[in-house]
A = this chain, B = another copy of it.
């Protein structure tokens, strides 16, 4: 394992996550051994890139044969820390929160949604997933610490993002995935990742506007 010595590119980590999905799909189709060509075809990543990504973490597969589908899946899960259950709470059950709570990939990757919170009294008690009822924000610290939540997902509006993050920290979560369009502050011992959906769209616009021909329309007020 070279893992401790060198910094692994973030893009590699993202691809490893994709490889899990592709490997599980291939496994479902009865494919017990995959070549890097077949895996690459399935994930739309070059075989050389797959080999390079895996090489950060050791040697996998048999030259000229390929990888054992199930065991490579398990090994990537160990690399990503998905060989354990991550108790997760979500705060803010609007449309985005709802979408995430119902996202089957989360369960498959080892995240267990242990609680969901919202500040809207009208939503309290609603069942959002089997056995998961929306709780009031006031219960966040108590419930999340009792459930030993390790990860908190923030899908509240920008204006309540910081107070939500503060409560999650108080509840003892170790990592926060923040979807609110506001950069929250957390103590150094908390791992924070901000996901900006508008940035993804802006990145697409940037790529498009640097390609010819550019269709430019007059902005309407």
- Distance of A61 Cα from B176 Cα, bound (Å): 35
By the criterion of a CB under 8 Å from any partner CB, how many residues of chain A are at the interface?
71
Interface residue A80 (Cβ < 8 Å from any Cβ of B): yes
Number of copies: 2
Considering residues A100, A206, A216, which has the most beta carbons from chain B within 10 angstroms of its beta carbon?
A206
Given A95-B95, A183-B18, the answer on whether A193 and B200 have CB atoms closer than 8 Å is: yes
Given A199-B14, A199-B17, A217-B87, the answer on whether A204 and B183 have CB atoms closer than 8 Å is: no
- Distance of A5 Cα from B210 Cα, bound (Å): 12
> A199 — which chain B residues lie within 8 A by C-beta?
13-14, 17-18
> A203 — which chain B residues lie within 8 A by C-beta?
10, 13-14, 17, 193
Interface residue A106 (Cβ < 8 Å from any Cβ of B): yes
The 3 closest A-B pairs by CB, nearest first: A81-B209, A95-B99, A96-B99
Interface residue A133 (Cβ < 8 Å from any Cβ of B): no
- Binary per-residue interface labels of chain A (101-123) against chain B in the complex, 1 for a CB within 8 Å, 0 otherwise: 01101100111100000000000
Given A150-B215, A203-B14, A204-B175, the answer on whether A220 and B85 have CB atoms closer than 8 Å is: yes
Min CB–CB distance A29 → chain B (angstroms): 14
